[in-house]
Structure 1
């Protein structure tokens, strides 16, 4: 499984402007909407907020993996963002999140959706990957980190 099968370079944000959980979700969703014709950004944002209301996707160690399902999607899509200053994402360890992997999946691909979430989780459990991710100088370098590690 390779991230670039579901992630495009234009869906990577090396410097999120967002300062809240809702803003992070909106900024990542906007990137997808800009590159995916017919994508319903408003609906995606609401799906993600609804998922967050069930429990935070801020898993700790500066990482959040917001995710949800949308019936209108044809395939899984991933957006990645980085906040150099950190955002309060109600993380399990109560620390700000700096690394965000947003995963949206169609309703009918539950197994693949779970495998992708597990793959991302394993990748982000690697301290050297997190360090390289946070140290990348620009979006192109961040893309290199993402594709080299996947």
Structure 2
């Protein structure tokens, strides 16, 4: 399964306004809900915050992949956000995060959840891809970068 198949273009925020971790999680959750209104906002945020307590999902190189598992959802869901200013996400390298993939998976899923995290990590490992995403100015352009990279 491709990232572009899981990511609803409605769930892309081209200019995250949040400057701190909890607000960024809330803003990304709102984007996810824009594409999937049946989700419970408070439940999603709680799951993400619980996961962050285990250790930051800021993986370095300006990237964070907040994720968690949620009961009662039919499939894995993604949101994407870009912050020009950056968010202190307590990343491993101490640098602010600029690119975010928020991932929520069904509680019983294991394989697809891990495969998707690996795909996102692989995609964002490439500095050229990160730069293209930073340069993209609107949700459609961001989505197109992801489509092009997966082609």
Asked if Structure 1 and Structure 2 have the same fold, meaning a TM-score greater than 0.5 normalized by the shorter chain, the answer is: yes
Separation in 2 of the partners of 1:70 and 1:22?
A: 18
Consecutive unaligned residues of structure 2, counting only runs of 5 or more, are none
Other structure's SS at 1:59 match = strand
Counterparts of 1:55-134 in structure 2, within 5 Å, are 55-134=55-134
TM-score (norm 2): 0.96
2:34: which partner in 1? Answer: 34
Separation in 2 of the partners of 1:33 and 1:133?
A: 22
Separation in 2 of the partners of 1:132 and 1:37?
A: 29
Deviation digits for residues 87-125 of structure 1 (CA, Å, limit 9, x no counterpart): 100000000000000100001211110000000000010
2:11, 2:33 within 8 Å by CA — same for their partners in 1? no
Deviation digits for residues 35-93 of structure 1 (CA, Å, limit 9, x no counterpart): 21321111000100000000000000000000000012110000000000101000000
User: How far does residue 34 in structure 1 lie from its aligned partner after superposition?
Assistant: 2.4
TM-score (norm 1): 0.97
Bigger mean CA deviation after superposition, 135-144 or 116-125:
135-144
Other structure's SS at 2:103 match = strand
User: How far does residue 32 in structure 1 lie from its aligned partner after superposition?
Assistant: 1.6
CA RMSD of superposed structures (Å) = 0.9
Other structure's SS at 1:95 match = coil
Separation in 2 of the partners of 1:137 and 1:37?
A: 25
